[in-house]
Amino acid sequence: MNSILLYALAGVGLFTLGLYALIVHAHLLRKILAINVMGSGVFLVLVSLGGRTPGASPDPVPHAMVITGIVVAVSATALALALMLRVQAKTGQTLLPEERLE
Amino acid sequence: MSVTDRSRLALVFRRVLMLLLLGLAGGLAYAVLSLPDQAVGLSDRVRANMETSGVSNPVTAVLLNFRGYDTLLEMAVLLVALLGVWSLGSAAVYRRSNPEPVLLSLVGVLVPMLLLMAGYLLWVGADAPGGAFQAGSVLAAAGILMLLACKRPPVQLLGWSLRLVLVLGLGAFIAVGVSLLSASGMFLQYPPGLAGALILFIEAAATLSIGVTLAALFLGGRLDPDA
């Protein structure tokens, strides 16, 4: 097992952990954090698999895609946090409608 | 259903979920492990075309030249996210607390250094790791530090000039694309001689926009000049 596969498997682990937290936790901030952990796992898989080129320099295309992905993830997180604050201001709870206590 | 029944059901649900997710992780790990050890991917094609890209850093060449559409749409996503945040309401009114003297002196030292670093990252992106996004996020860090130290921008800058900077990156990108479309009939197909200069121009505009957009996202709401 080489280090590239180790990184890629760590990315798979991060993705699964994030998915578990996304399903289990009801608080919206935890859900947003979980989605970010999942995204980091995907980025780790992409970047590490880009390093499988025979030469010394890795494949630049996945790296460029990850940079794009990071920016999209940051802006989506900002929008999600603003929506979360809005939900809290309207309902007093940071939960989705089906999780709210009556 | 009693409370204990409910919590027992939740426990069973979590166990089942863990098993399912372990299965998913196993499948994904199998997919990763069954990939070939060596893969050329697109790196050979990138290397073959580096001469025409106008820069010598392959990641910048892919971002701004070979896959320019990605970056163009990414700038649009950044702008749309900010519009979404702004449409939800105004930024919370800041408590005008007096920032600590330590924070103030730190800001005085760090902000000029961050600005310098942003400029360096933008310039070095042509032939080493760096580029518009790295420089833009450093710029945003400087902006957020200023906001935390209660140094808000002057009110007269929050109107049209702020909006102009926000759309500058996307606008410059589209302007370059459209002028190339009218000149050579290909959208975002840079002529090799001009590619380096065009990429630097787009990146400079994008750096400003990214930095200001991220700092504005940090405020979490619309900035009203009269607020």
Average pLDDT, chain B: 87
**Interval B121-157: pLDDT, tens:** 999 988 888 889 999 999 999 999 988 887 777 777 7
Residue B39 lies in a domain: no
Interchain contact A79–B (C-beta under 8 A): yes
- Give this complex's ipTM: 0.88
Alpha carbon distances (Å) from B217 to A37, A43, A82, B117, B140 = 20, 23, 9, 22, 10
Mean pLDDT lowest among A9-23, A75-89, B210-224:
B210-224
Given an 8 Å threshold on Cβ–Cβ distance, is B133 in contact with A70?
Answer: yes
Nearest chain A residue (CA) to B80 = A75
Residue B161 lies in a domain: yes
Q: How many domains does chain B have?
A: 1
Mean pLDDT lowest among A65-74, A79-88, B41-50, B163-172:
B41-50
- pLDDT, residue B226, reads 57
State the count of interchain CB pairs (< 8 A) between A and B: 123
Given an 8 Å threshold on Cβ–Cβ distance, is A60 in contact with B24?
Answer: no
Residue B70 lies in a domain: yes
- pLDDT, residue B171, reads 94
**Domain coverage including residue B93:** 55-219
- Does B225 score more than 70 pLDDT? no
Give Rg (Cα) of chain B: 24
- pLDDT, residue B130, reads 85
Distance from CA of A101 to the nearest CA of B (A): 14
Q: Which residues of B touch A9 (CB under 8 A)?
A: 29, 32-33
- pLDDT, residue B37, reads 80
Can you give the pTM of this predicted structure?
A: 0.87
User: Which comes out higher in pLDDT, residue B95 or B110?
Assistant: B110
Interchain contact A62–B (C-beta under 8 A): yes
Residue B28 lies in a domain: no
Distance from CA of B167 to the nearest CA of A (A): 15
Across B19-31, average pLDDT: 95
- Does A53 score more than 90 pLDDT? no
- pLDDT, residue A101, reads 63
A1 sits in which H/E element = none
**Interval B159-211: pLDDT, tens:** 888 999 999 999 999 999 999 888 888 888 888 888 888 899 999 999 999 99
- Does B227 score more than 60 pLDDT? no
Structural domains of chain A, with CATH: 3-99 (1.10.287.3510)
Going by C-alpha positions, the residue among B218, B203, B196, B221 that lies closest to residue B74 is B203
Q: Which residues of B touch A55 (CB under 8 A)?
A: 43
